[in-house]
Amino acid sequence: MSVKITELCINCNACIDECPATAIVEADDAPIDTEYTYVKPEKCIECVDCTVPKCAYVCPSEGAIIWDMPYIEEFNDYYMSGDANGEYKIRVHKKKGVFSPANQPRPFRETISVEQRENKMAVEI
């Protein structure tokens, strides 16, 4: 699964160094056309081993980081259609192929429901 950064981001970049999965890049380095810091969903592990998501812990802007869907096979079409429309740019490995949810599922927080994710709930700490 993943978290997602919204237009409420103020590009302070505080979250980038905090991410244990190196999933966050600043806007200029994002693989999509965006004005905001970007989370690579194929890398985000929702900080499942931590008490709270580390990016949200340091973020000064409420609502800048929201829950996205679990990065698992069930949501493969969701992420791949997002990839097709430019919302995401999922990594393609020369030998392993696309790091899609079906091919490379990531850990996610089962305590956050699909409904909360669909409602774009802010990641709270």
Given 25, 64, 90, 122, the residue binding ligand SF4 (CB under 6 A): 64
Q: Does 30 bind ligand SF4 (CB under 6 A)?
A: no
Part in contact with ligand SF4 (CB under 6 A); list of ranges 40-48, 67-75, 79-87, 91-99: 40-48
Q: Which stretch binds ligand SF4 (CB under 6 A): 41-49, 70-78, 83-91, 97-105?
A: 41-49
Shortest Å distance, C-beta 51 to ligand SF4: 12
Residue whose pair of structure tokens reads 């490995």 in the numeric block: 93
Q: Which residues contact 124 (CB under 8 A, 6 or more apart)?
A: 56
C-alpha–C-alpha distance, residues 70 and 58, integer Å: 22
Asked if 65 is part of the footprint of ligand SF4 (rule: CB under 6 A), the reply reads: yes
For residue 64, the SS3 value is: coil
* 82 makes contact with ligand SF4 (CB under 6 A): no
Residue with smaller CB distance to ligand SF4, 46 or 83: 46
How far is residue 69 CA from its own chain's centroid? 9
- The first and second tokens of residue 102, run together, are 């079906």
Structure tokens at 43: 């890398």
Nearer to ligand SF4, 41 or 100 (CB): 41
What's the token pair of residue 70?
A: 């679990």
If 0-12 CB within 10 Å is exposed, 13-18 middle and 19+ buried, where does residue 91 land? middle
Q: Which residues bind ligand SF4 (CB under 6 A)?
A: 3, 5, 9-15, 18-21, 23-24, 37, 39, 44-47, 53-55, 58-61, 64-65
